[in-house]
Structure 1
Amino acid sequence: MTVTTPAPGASPPEPLAIADVPSRADRAFRRVTTGAGLSVLGLLVVIGFFLVYRSVPAFQISGFGFFSTIQFDAASGQLGVLGLIYGTIVVALIAVAFAVPLSILAALFISDYASGRMRGFLTGLVDLLAAIPSLLYGLWGFSFLRPYITPLSEWMTSNLGWFPLFETKPGAVLFNSMFVAGLVVSLMVIPITTSVIREVFTQTPAGEKEAALALGSTRWGMVAAVVLPFGRGGIVGGSMLGLGRALGETIAVSLLLPQVPAVTSHLLEFGGATISGFIANNAGMSGIGLNGLMAAGLVLFVFTLATNFTASVIISRSRSGVGVDA
């Protein structure tokens, strides 16, 4: 092989410019994906404007009192979303409090402890559970799980009643409570959260995991020092995605809660309502009642968007989210 060298005093050759010329298929694919993304964004904008337009009469009647009034009674013209917001947040937080720790442990087992064959089976099982309709979860929780949770509520109020959240009134009914609804919703959140967190855990650099083991670390030490810090963004993202699912859940909460707006610290007692469940149970309203439901839907719409946007920001700033567009 002959190697040519530039003559003394001659300028070095200019680097070869590489032009990126996309093919016709690449250009078509880019147009399709761009159009799909803009269509989703446009659909969200249209939904937002529609909800704002239909909510104006309710805000004109109630003003800022719409956000500070607990009861929602269209017959008397008393429209308020505070009780619905409270129930929505409480049920979602209960669901996430139970789902996230279990999801993290399940994701760690699948990614770092299970054998290859079992890993494939569990991955498919988790994805299959995430695809089950929420109606089936709601019916299962209403007919099967609720009788088993009620004794747990009785034990908690008897032994942990000194804590305000577990305190109940004498003779209170302990089924169809926000606690029961939160547990059922958590079962719907676990598959989605586990799938997201597992996917991030499996992307942990193998070299860093092997280095930790080579330095004498145990399996748990490697997980604590490498996997968990790397997957922090995935944990946050999966948790926020599960929170968004819990905030918007409709069928299960409409079956498990009486949909009576209230602000109470007695989470084990009968009662409670969420925005989505209340809208589903009162979808036949007309007039100002329908406008009030649209306003409540607008609140849930904004709340869910804010939750997802916050999750995107947190993930993009984490190590596992580096290079991922927010």
Structure 2
Amino acid sequence: MAGTSQTPPGDLGRGDRPDPATEAFVAHRNLLFTVAYEMLGSAADAEDVLQETWLRWAGVDLGEVRDQRAYLVRITTRQALGRLRALGRRRESYVGPWLPEPLLTAPDVAEDVELAESVSMAMLLVLETLQPTERAVFVLREVFDLAYDEIAEAVGKSPAAVRQIAHRARAHVAARRPRGVVSPAETRGALEAFQRAVETGDLQRLFDLLAPDVVLLGDGGGVVRAALEPLVGAEQVAHVLGRISAATSLQPAQINGHPALILRLDGEVDTVMAVRIDDGLITGLYAVRNPEKLSRIETETTLRR
């Protein structure tokens, strides 16, 4: 690995003259992170995948590589698949509901409607219901629009098999994804009303904003207090939300490309709460409290397709 670093390079200063391998990796780094994150739902694990991708990429003979982007995506996908299979076993013993790691994202993510939908908390939870290979195929085809033969190389299947997997995964996701596309303005409006109701403790207003079958998922990871089972129903969820401490401040933010709330207690991030909205009502609330999943909330993460 002559002339290469053992860690994935980040942004380089103007005076740096990267070697071709480093230059290619840096150019595609945000794309590779997005691929890994969409497959894993964890920024920490996505970073580990990038580390592994870099180590393999640094040893590649670039003269043999026709398409550097496709080659890097292939390495990243293979590493993410291996990690995803291992994570599946680890998540079986996770304490309480498991939620994706929330990311503070820049406004340009929300402007890319397809990317924003694909990284939303609701969609990432749908992707969790796919088998690892199905998830990889769906992400690479539906989000990144890779050709079937490129995906086949990445997942070790024939193009014909990949087409069948893509069809099956697409049908599976379509049956579970949010019922309609909600504009950022609609989401923001509902979230503002939700924030006012929580801050004022207005249970009736909360009840009016929640769908009758609303589901609240809380992820404490066994580290901090959170419900160990999903809370279902407007009345139950409204009463739980009504108990949020008056000392808690609620801050609007762009989380995973969508409006959400950051709850702070004594100035420290306590919870990140994302919402799912269908037909004008809140149908899903995703409250991430596990401190291990809140480390990226103070800094924007760049996602790219």
Calculate the TM-score normalised by the size of structure 2.
0.26
Which structure has more RCO (C-alpha within 8 Å, separation ≥ 6)?
A: 1
Structure with greater Cα Rg: 1
> Which structure has greater helix proportion?
1
Calculate the TM-score normalised by the size of structure 1.
0.25
